[in-house]
Amino acid sequence: MLNDKTVLITGITGSLGKALVRRILSGEMGMPKKIIGLSRDEAKQHQMRVEYMNRRAVTDEVIYQNFSQRLEFRIGDVRDFHSVASALRTADIVFNAAAMKQVPTCEYFPYEAVLTNISGPQNICRAILEHNLPVELVIGISTDKACKPVNVMGMTKAMQERIFTTANVNSPNTRFSCVRYGNVLASRGSVVPLFLDQIRSGGPVTITTETMTRFLLSLEDAVDVVFESVRKGKRGETYIPRVPAALMVDLARVLIGDRKIETKVTGIRPGEKVHEILVSEEECQRTFRRDDYYVIAPILPELSESPAAIQTCFDGEYSSADNLISVDGLRDLLGKNGLLDFEALSHEDEVLR
């Protein structure tokens, strides 16, 4: 699917961007001709560049050979149309992983979230349309918070989903689709690294509410969802993983283990939900199973099959409050993902591997 293609990844130095690069370069989807990474953090780009060139000493040639490498980095911002248009010029496949994703930050700086999470996707669609670019596929990385949004991050991500859906009508030669998932285990800024840091510091481990639940998805699972959308997705569809969920108080309990560390209930942060929802009551009317995934059909009738042709699989919303994993199951899941080995997780870069 990606063999001999030029792949553009926005937000390449984030947790998902790095995981995408590693998996793409493994060749499991075919070996691409080039991966272009667009982001605005030169230090993270340079660190990633050196890592992939397997060099201990940083020399000028690492920078000067940038455009001759299979993995090419570009400094730019999805907020800037010219940056986006330039990076898209030779792209065949686009993964839009650039985002402002911290819920409280988006609440305090809502317009900044609008610029990245809404204007960024719009710039991608605009560049493809106005420059008639032969981009084959664009996949937007969305979030559970886009479903029944109650915070700025979710509202802006919901707009991204609709922008990409509509782009299928305006640019019919390009397939635009999305993937939507919840909490990613050990991704930067997520709850597991926070709990681990608090445990290493001797506590307390802070829990917002004792009833809070979250879906549990590894970075590898997140990439699997993206790749499945590449393989089998259709225009305007949103792919949803089938994943377990857990109480955050149980997550804290498993990570703490036998250590004498107290927990402290702090209350919900600005804009935070008690439960994650991946499919709403309204969306369940157009949600169906495809292999091991749930798929939400596009809302626009120009892109969707007749509602009567959709074999729906939900009677109500798909929430993290349903079908919670047991404490033993949670312990097995964390152990399988290497999140109970505190020696191996002593550095953030290792946590985010």
Active-site annotation, residues: 145
Residue type (1 letter), 278: L
Beta strands in the chain (DSSP E): 6-10, 34-39, 71-75, 93-96, 137-143, 175-181, 205-207, 213-215, 238-241, 245-247, 263-265, 277-279, 287-290, 293-296, 318-319
CB-based burial, 155-181: b 16+ in 10 Å, e otherwise = bbbbbbbbbbbbbbeebeebbbbbbbb
Residue type (1 letter), 103: V
> For residues 135 and 130, what is the distance between their CA atoms, to the nearest angstrom?
12
Rg (CA), the chain: 20
Token reading at 139:
């996949």
* Cα torsion 182, 185, 187, 190: sign: positive
